[in-house]
């Protein structure tokens, strides 16, 4: 997934959702705060009106100002109440928090209502004047606790961060799923394109190969017959040249046959066979080549492993991989052949200590007519892959340039005999 696709399809929508969620949460908290403050204001106004009527009545009854507020000190949610004279001197006050009355004539705002922070949280203040029957001016100062509002807002903030965390985790999970789905889709698309290109290339190669084989085989057969005739009727002094020419014709015929193999569909003749016997047989056949090149072949015999397969074709797979490993090795180096049965599969590997495969060549190893050997035709590994896949298996390799290459074939259905 490209960077601009990540921004367009995930990060940008995710940031928009988070932004909208944050804005809605903020507006919700503001609405809650305004609603509670409005209710507190209405309650304080009603409470203050009732208190002022009662206080006027007590003043009319000549009750001392220092004894008036005792009767109202236990009102619910009223955290403090104070009675002040016309010069705003405190005549009496009561508070649920002893020794605490947040009042200052200098700092008191002109508004009738205001909010302050205190040790017990937010306090909604109400300050209003009233006049007794004899015309004296007094002030009533009330403090209403907004503790419930603070708890509500704090709970709202906690819920916001909790939901934001859940949203972030859910977003990451969704992004991971989308990313994997997109990556899988891209891989499938690339694989489909690759397969389509390979089929088209194979069709072109098949047509070209079939045409070339057809055009060459007829004159080649004539040459073969001609050399057969020359072999019988040529003088002795020409026998070596005739034999050499006959050999070259046979070599050309062999090359054409190998090219023709890639366009023939595989017809498997499956049977129960011992895979380790195939390994031993093909290793024995290649010991002469290994000896000529000074290469040691090491075989880790796994014991009898029974599989269902075409003996001739699987022998070709084994022979081709071991031969390639020997030819890629130098004198004194070792080729390791291993096989084992695991999880219902046969895993067969051939590892050499040769020059390895360069990273820029790795993607073309199994392509037809691509060879990194001077004398190679680029058909062997293509046919190996074709045979392995026809058996329902797969083949892969690991290579470290300068240190060697390991080819691994996995075939289904292996079991120890």
In this structure, the answer to whether residues 298 and 389 fall within a common structural domain is yes
Q: Do 7 and 93 sit in the same domain of this protein?
A: yes
- In the listed set 261, 284, 306, which residue is the last one of a domain according to the structure? 261
CATH number reported for the structural domain that contains residue 54 in this entry: 3.30.450.20
What distances in angstroms separate CA 87 from CA 27, 90, 94, 102, 250, one per listed residue?
Answer: 42, 9, 19, 17, 129
| 293 shares its domain with 385 | yes
256 and 343 share a domain?
no
- Domain membership of residue 357 (yes or no) is yes
What angle do helix axes 147-233 and 12-60 make, rounded to 10 degrees? 170
In a domain, 161, yes or no: no
Q: How many CB atoms lie within 10 A of CB 352?
A: 26
Token pair in block for residue 401: 């340039």
Nearest Cα to Cα of residue 117 among 74, 90, 149: 149
**Measured distance CA(376)–CA(359) in Å, rounded:** 20
Q: Are residues 308 and 385 in the same domain?
A: yes
**Quick one: 312 and 381 in the same domain?**
yes
Torsion angle, CA of 103/107/108/111, rounded to 10 degrees? -150
Supply the pLDDT for residue 234.
75
Residues with Cβ within 8 Å of 23's Cβ and at least 6 positions away in sequence, in order, are none
The rounded mean pLDDT for the chain is 81
**Relative orientation angle of helices 311-327 and 275-293, to the nearest 10 degrees:** 30
CATH label of the domain that carries residue 351: 3.30.565.10
Residues 131 and 172 in one domain: no
- The reply to whether 280 and 388 lie within a common domain is yes
Do 277 and 412 fall within a single domain?
yes
Provide the domain count of the chain.
3
| Closest to 403 in 3D by CA, of 303, 296, 347, 328 | 328
322 in a domain, yes or no?
A: yes
Specify if 358 maps to a domain: yes
- Highest averaged pLDDT of the listed ranges 178-192, 331-345, 365-379: 331-345
Structure-block tokens of residue 15: 């940031």
Cα 169 from Cα 134, distance rounded (Å) = 70
203/247 same-domain check: yes
- On whether residue 389 sits in a domain, the answer given is yes
Q: Are residues 249 and 279 in the same domain?
A: no
pLDDT over 80 (residue 239): no
pLDDT, tens digit (0-9, with 9 covering 90-100), for 169-214: 887 787 777 778 877 888 888 888 877 776 676 666 666 666 666 6
How far is the C-alpha of 44 from the C-alpha of 51, rounded, in Å? 10
In a domain, 24, yes or no: yes
Looking at the fold, whether 194 and 301 belong to one and the same domain comes out as no
pLDDT digits (tens, 9 = 90+) for 275-331: 989 999 999 999 999 999 999 999 988 888 889 999 988 998 999 999 999 998 999
Residue 69 DSSP one-character state = G
Pairing of the two strands 137-145 and 296-300: unpaired
Last residue of one domain, picked from the residues 145, 180, 199:
145
In a domain, 347, yes or no: yes
Q: 334-342 and 305-309 as β-strands: parallel, antiparallel, unpaired? A: unpaired
Question: pLDDT digit string (tens) for 69-84?
Answer: 887 877 766 888 899 9
d(CA 65, CA 58): 9
- Per-residue pLDDT at 17 exceeds 80: no
Residue 54: inside a domain: yes
Residue 252: pLDDT band (50, 70, 90) is: confident
Whole-angstrom Cα Rg for the chain: 48
Angle between helix axes 380-390 and 311-327 (nearest 10 degrees) is 140
Final residue in a domain of this structure, among 236, 261, 286: 261
Determine which helix (DSSP H) or strand (DSSP E) holds 407, and give its type and residue range. strand 404-412
Domain around 208 = 167-261
């Amino acid at each position: 997934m490209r960077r601009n696709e990540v921004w367009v399809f995930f990060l940008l929508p995710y940031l928009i959702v988070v932004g909208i969620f944050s804005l809605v949460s903020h507006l919700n908290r503001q609405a809650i705060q305004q609603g509670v403050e409005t209710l507190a204001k209405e309650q304080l106004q009603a409470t203050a009106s009732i208190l002022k009527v009662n206080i006027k009545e007590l003043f009319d009854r000549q009750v001392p100002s220092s004894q008036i507020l005792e009767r109202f000190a236990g009102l619910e949610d009223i955290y403090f109440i104070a009675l002040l004279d016309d010069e705003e001197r405190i005549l009496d006050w009561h508070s649920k928090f002893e020794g605490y009355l947040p009042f200052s004539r200098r700092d008191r705002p002109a508004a009738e209502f205001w909010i302050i922070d205190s040790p017990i949280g937010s306090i909604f203040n109400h300050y209003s004047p009233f006049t007794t029957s004899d015309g004296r001016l007094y002030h009533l100062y009330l403090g209403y606790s907004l503790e419930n509002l603070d708890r509500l807002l704090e709970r709202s903030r906690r819920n916001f961060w909790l939901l934001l965390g859940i949203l972030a985790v859910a977003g990451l999970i969704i992004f991971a799923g989308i990313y994997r789905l997109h990556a899988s889709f891209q891989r499938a698309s690339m694989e489909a394109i690759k397969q389509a290109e390979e089929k088209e290339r194979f069709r072109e190669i098949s047509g070209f190969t079939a045409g070339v084989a057809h055009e060459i085989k007829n004159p080649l057969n004539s040459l073969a017959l001609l050399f057969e005739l020359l072999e019988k009727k040529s003088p002795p002094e020409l026998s070596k040249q005739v034999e050499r020419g006959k050999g070259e014709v046979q070599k050309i015929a062999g090359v054409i046959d190998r090219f023709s193999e890639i366009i023939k569909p595989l017809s498997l003749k499956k049977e129960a066979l011992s895979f380790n016997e195939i390994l031993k047989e093909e290793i024995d056949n290649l010991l002469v080549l290994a000896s000529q090149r000074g290469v040691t072949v090491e075989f880790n015999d796994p014991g009898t492993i029974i599989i269902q397969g075409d003996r001739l074709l699987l022998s070709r797979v084994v022979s081709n991989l071991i031969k390639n490993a020997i030819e890629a090795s130098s004198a004194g180096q070792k080729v390791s052949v291993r096989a084992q049965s695991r999880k219902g599969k046969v895993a067969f590997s051939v590892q050499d200590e040769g020059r390895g495969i360069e990273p820029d060549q790795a993607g073309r190893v199994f392509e037809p007519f691509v060879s990194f050997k001077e004398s190679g035709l680029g058909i062997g590994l293509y046919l190996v892959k074709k045979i392995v896949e026809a058996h329902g298996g797969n083949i892969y390799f690991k290579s470290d340039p300068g240190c060697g290459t390991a080819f691994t074939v996995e075939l289904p259905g292996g079991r120890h005999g």
